[in-house]
Amino acid sequence: MLKLRFIPHLTYQRRLQLLLAPYAIGIVLLVVVPAVVTFALAFFHYDGLTPPRWAGTLNFVLAYTDSLFILSVQNSLALIIVPTFLRVIGAFLLARLLQRNGRFLAGFRAAVYLPSVIPAAAFALAWLWIFNPLYGPLNLLLAQLGLATPAWLVDPAWAKPAIILMSLWQIGEGFLISLAALQDVPPELEDAAAIDGAGTWGVLRHIILPLLAPILLLLVFRDAILTFQESFISIYLLTGGGPYYATFTLPFFIYEQGFDLLSFGVASAALWVMYALSGLIVIVLYIIARQWNIGTTDETFVL
């Protein structure tokens, strides 16, 4: 660790705080200040060309009464709820499958994590080729198997499933966290359960899942929020919000209001609605966790 020798009178805790100061300053300048400015801008008419004019709560009313806004919220929730749980479950099951040491398991682990380090734009363009209805490899494979070949990104009925299918390949971070948590589970617990006659499913259900429940809960929190806010790039490149607004999400609505219609006040109001929905999702998940007696204190993460 970097030693701050030029201020030896500081305590260890103060030195750690000083080391974190650049990160904290970046958070304030790049997150907190823009959030405050955006909240203030939500109460003004502003097009980026003329001085702001006071609008009160009109921007929130305009956003709420816009039919595209309601549709964008519905599409956003549909593209969050289903992929989030599928991604967390898939990451956990893959981590459980690749938990043991083996000759080729390191390569499989790297293959699972690899899609997560690919830039979002490159990843979306690769799937744009995969989903091509004429010469994409996915439809060519389905045709060889004698199955139907959907028009994926140009068919409103298949656009959402295509986005969900693409998102299931980026589970590397959840996979690593689940794998690390599984490695911390004492093997004596599984051995004792096996001696008592518990099968694979019994060990997974009664030992592994209760121990890892707080970790999986945090993964669901993180995935829901990130999916809500970071799905814009892939949707913009793959479908542009179409076809027929089938993938028109709330981030896309904010982008269209701000940079297409130059209505930054309405865009700011919609942005804060997105923040509120993100918080609501976390609250709902927290209530579910409390109902299941899943704790989220520091002690519950000590396996």
What is the per-residue pLDDT for 295?
Answer: 53
> Contact at 8 Å (CB) between 250 and 231?
no
Which residue segments constitute the domains of the chain, with CATH numbers given?
60-301 (1.10.3720.10)
- DSSP category for residue 31: I
Burial per residue of 166-182, b for 16 or more beta-carbon CB atoms within 10 angstroms, e otherwise: bbebbbbbbbbbbbebb
The pLDDT value recorded for residue 293 is 61
The confidence score (pLDDT) of residue 159 equals 92
- Assigned token pair, 88: 């967390």
| Nearest of 225, 243, 226, 200 to residue 280 by alpha carbon | 225
Task: Confirm if 131 and 238 have CB atoms less than 8 A apart.
Answer: yes
* Alpha-carbon separation of residue 30 from 23, 84, 247, 263 (angstroms): 10, 27, 29, 22
Residues 6+ apart with CB under 8 A from 144: none
Partners of residue 44 on adjacent β-strands:
54
User: What's the rounded Cα separation, in Å, for the pair 189 and 186?
Assistant: 6
For residues 227 and 84, is the Cβ–Cβ distance under 8 A?
A: yes
Walk along the chain (303 residues) and give the pLDDT tens digit of each residue: 445 455 557 788 888 888 889 999 999 999 889 888 889 999 999 888 888 899 888 888 888 888 889 999 889 888 888 888 899 999 999 988 888 776 778 888 888 888 888 888 899 999 999 999 888 899 999 999 988 899 899 999 999 999 999 988 888 888 999 888 888 888 777 777 777 777 778 777 778 888 888 888 888 888 888 887 778 888 899 998 888 899 999 999 999 998 888 899 999 999 898 888 888 877 877 787 776 665 545 454 444
